[in-house]
Structure 1
Amino acid sequence: MQNYAAEVLAKIDERFYLDSKTQSVVNNGLTFEYSGVNTVTIYDIDVVPENNYVRSGVMRYGQLVELGDGVQSFTLSQDKSFAISIDRGNREDSKMVLAIDDAVKRQVREVSVPTTDIFTLAVAQGYANTNNQKNQTPTNLSASNAFQSVLDRRAALIEAKVPVDKGLTVFVTPRTEAFLWRDPEFKVICDRTKEDKATGKIGEIMGMSIVVVPSSYLAAKTGFLMLSNSVLVRPIKFNSIRTGDGFSFGIDGWVAQGRRYYDVFVPKNKGVAIQWWEEA
């Protein structure tokens, strides 16, 4: 019987990963600083109705109305961490393929980045859903209605006095993207020179950046999520990574520890600039 030789190569079968899909839609409007605190409070200021000016008597401009204000408080909730160890023996017995610096990079790109993206989109969509900012009758998208449905939600933003000429992003599922490309009108007017493969942006149309994300990034039965880039606030109080010798942990090898403290918020006066499409 023939005996065949075998060899283990110092090669790693790395997984596919995605760059951040949401970096362009956060911290473009308000920004929050959490120096020494975990909660910040901001104000929103009222306006008063306009009167008909009268040309005789007193109070010709109308009765004085004391200007009111409200407050909104935002408390950080996402305190995330990871811890990795590599034993010296395991490293040396696996052709040195285990490296702590590489492990940290892998952790960030495969776990931290998508987790943050999913949470960011969930906050935006959750706000829109709570405030009924979506199509009123769940309707499945198709090649014949996908683009029109996007325009329908864009019209809803216009009705809410949201600027739509630029600075809108539409997060679509791969299924919705396929429907859009099958729409002749969409294909003609979509500006593909603005494509960015790293972020999933397939182009721009009527002031909207179209970004494709895995369906797992959005809630079930979602056709797309549309929002103004100035809505979301994503403060990061700290984002730290420490690597070093594992001796203090009783490990002959190396350790890495990471921690990030952040959150995503929707200020109420900006929240009207979110819409999503619910499928049946």
Structure 2
Amino acid sequence: MNLLWKTLADLKEPAILIRLFIPFAAGLVLVSLLGYGIFGLLLTSDWVLQSTVVQDAQTWQMHAESTIGAIPLIGGLILWFIGLAVTVIAGVLGIILGSYLVLLFAMIITGFMTDTLVKTVQQKHYPHTAYSGHGTTAGMIWKLVKYGLLMLLLLIVTIPLLFIPLVNVIWFWMLGFMFFRYSIVLDVGQVILPEPLFEKLKPMTNWEPTMAVGILFALSVFPMVSFFAPVLAVIALSHYYLDQLSLERPNPADIS
């Protein structure tokens, strides 16, 4: 919780506050264009509605409803329960998917501001702690692509879990959190830490930063909060990594 308090306290800084709303403004425009433009036109087009897959699915649904509804006494009750369950699950997954879409845009935009956010935190709280980081942007992007493909493969392999109520929501949330944490840790860690220290601090079992990032990710289930979560996570990890770096590299003034 200490990292979260430090992060919230930094929001009074104009340099951070301005950058906090950049993903919100840009992401709001991009998500609106994508959601109401591309997706809206695609999902209401004849190409989708008249496709063989959609037609077969509708036919199967009608046959299933007729068969279940014909069951004496409880057929109607079963249909009602199935409809309620599908509605609730679809609603929850829809909220999560929507928040993931917003979060992904916000993460991409925040990635271009990581250097300046880290520099702002360092100048205000750790002026005597120099940092140089490690790695390259191309290397980081390649690692993110590989990890993203791994998460996608894991999702495909575990598709049966998505049909289990509650388990599907938890599992989908966990996959999203793993990618979110990996991305933020890699982004901020490569800016601040030398590679040996980064390798030491990056595991998920390093609970202090993991809990802070986890709380911020949990709040991002609300689409509006998703715009701000990556910036707040970068600030929180900047505090943690700069603090750990200061322990590795004591202030020269203190030594003398």
TM-score normalized with structure 1 length: 0.28
Q: Greater RCO between the two (CA within 8 Å, min separation 6)? A: 2
TM-score for the superposition, normalised by structure 2: 0.30
Q: Which has more radius of gyration?
A: 1
* Structure with more helix by fraction: 2
When you count strand as a share of all residues, which structure comes out higher? 1
